Amino acid sequence: MSTLTTIQGIDNTSYETVLEVKDLSFKYSKKQPLVLENISINFASNNLTIISGPNGSGKTTLMKHFTGLLTPQSGKIIVFGKPMTRKNKREIQKLIGIVFENPDEQIFFPKVYDDISFGPRNMELSWEEIRKRVDLALEEVQITHLQDRITFNLSYGEKKKVAFAGILAMQPRIIVLDEPTAGIDPWTKPRLIEIIRSFKRKRTVIVITHDLDLMQIADRILLLKNGKTVGDFSSFDKFYTKEFQV
């Protein structure tokens, strides 16, 4: 069985661009200003891209378009060469996993193993494949030792890893992380950042964050301000020099 989620019309062909945002504009009501204005971005395969910017710059709104939680009022979201439409949105969503900032919004089961296996159990997989996926996800986020623990007894950092594993077990081809290091103590954060860095070995990673430590592992940093892309940097040093050094 394939180790990657597939949908009708999209196979495991290697794509240089896996996700494309094309001329995207959006506002929440007719009387409000645009939250996103004419955004065009390409995301490359197996890259780790960070999207940053001041509060209110449109980062979360953009992220919701990636997964079809919001529909573009103009422009397109193209995933593996296929424009996202109302007809194919649910299928395309299987290719994109999102981990929210607060892990308590994604953890539903009392036991860690049961929570991580929830997604695969709803994918009509064999029990053998479910166990394989869960074991791989536990190993990838380094929490095999937690599989029998009760979720509400975990630390905040451990809950973050469980939320990661729950998405990884569904084997999406793109993973989107919303402020993954928020609320993490300085002792735990370096290891968590290394885990996030490792994700790109098997998939494309998009991270929404203000965390300068996390931004240092990026292959690319996109800067949003007032709903527009105002910077596209190939390294943290270039981003930091432009934004913070006079």
Q: How many CA atoms does the CB half-sphere of 222 hold within 13 Å?
A: 23
| Topology of the domain covering 17-95+174-237 | Rossmann fold (3.40.50)
3-state DSSP percent of the chain in helix, strand and coil, to 5: 35, 25, 40
Phi, psi of 155 (to 5 degrees): -70, 170
List per-residue pLDDT tens for the chain, 246 residues long. Answer: 334 444 444 444 445 899 999 999 999 998 889 999 999 999 999 999 999 999 999 999 999 999 899 999 999 999 999 999 989 998 999 999 999 999 999 999 999 999 999 999 999 899 999 999 999 999 999 999 999 999 999 999 999 999 999 999 999 999 999 999 999 999 999 999 999 999 999 999 999 999 999 999 999 999 999 999 999 999 999 999 999 875
Query: For residue 3, what are the CA distances in angstroms to 160, 174, 194, 220, 239?
Result: 23, 13, 23, 26, 35
Q: Tell me the two tokens of residue 34.
A: 């645009």
Q: Where are the domains of the chain?
A: 17-95+174-237, 108-171
